[in-house]
């Protein structure tokens, strides 16, 4: 009985982590983070930030394709191998597939979207020319909103999702946080009444 529980838990863990490898590993690489400040600091708006949002969006949807591996191995294990391990793989990766697909029919939107990248570009374009908030606009995306670094004007209220930067609290804690949050922001901006 204990062996079956351990094998089910191991299968569930592998089925949870394996499809998230693209976001967990590719976005945390050294060459992937050269254009960004260290983790807690606000991220300046620019083409590198838009590119990062679009890359993470691609990695998010890529997990559907990667989930085929644990689903297949889980099915084969249930059929011909250890059913507890296979069911753990199948259940956990199947849950990820359902989670991703429910966003297409009206559930919670993904943490990184094309609309988010377009909105950031619109804010960046709005800081140029006669519509600028101050003489030297420097928009940067903080935890809960985009602000100008010089005049401190709020340009956009949007919580920042995990952008794949190396965290100040370490690689393992950062990966654990990403596994728990799935890339969604941990805090949201307060609504003003």
pLDDT value of position 191? 59
| H/E run at residue 51 | helix 47-66
pTM of the predicted protein model: 0.86
How confident is residue 22, by pLDDT bands cut at 50, 70 and 90? confident
How confident is residue 121, by pLDDT bands cut at 50, 70 and 90? very high
Identity of the highest mean pLDDT range in 57-71, 120-134, 156-170: 57-71
Q: Is pLDDT of 193 > 60? A: no
Per-residue b/e over 18-55, b at no fewer than 16 CB within 10 Å?
bbbebbbeebbeeebbeebeeeeebbbbbeebbebbeb
Q: Is the CB of residue 184 less than 8 Å from the CB of residue 140?
A: no
Distance CA 177, CA 166 (A): 12
pLDDT in tens, 65-90: 999 999 999 999 989 988 999 999 99
């Amino acid at each position: 009985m204990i062996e079956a529980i351990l094998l089910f838990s191991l299968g569930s863990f592998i089925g949870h982590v394996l499809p998230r490898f693209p976001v967990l590993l590719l976005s945390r690489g050294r060459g992937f983070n050269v254009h960004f400040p260290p983790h807690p600091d606000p991220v300046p708006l620019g083409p590198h930030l838009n590119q990062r949002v679009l890359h993470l969006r691609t990695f998010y949807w890529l997990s559907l394709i990667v989930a085929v591996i644990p689903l297949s191995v889980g099915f084969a294990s249930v059929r011909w191998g250890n059913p507890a391990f296979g069911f753990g793989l199948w259940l956990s990766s199947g849950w990820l597939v359902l989670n991703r697909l429910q966003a297409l029919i009206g559930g919670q939107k993904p943490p990184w979207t094309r609309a988010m990248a377009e909105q950031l570009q619109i804010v960046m374009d709005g800081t140029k020319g006669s519509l600028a908030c101050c003489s030297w606009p420097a928009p940067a995306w903080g935890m809960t909103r985009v602000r100008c670094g010089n005049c401190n004007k709020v340009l956009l209220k949007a919580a920042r999702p995990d952008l794949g930067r190396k965290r100040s609290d370490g690689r393992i804690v950062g990966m654990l946080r990403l596994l728990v949050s799935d890339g969604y922001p941990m805090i949201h901006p307060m609504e003003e009444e």
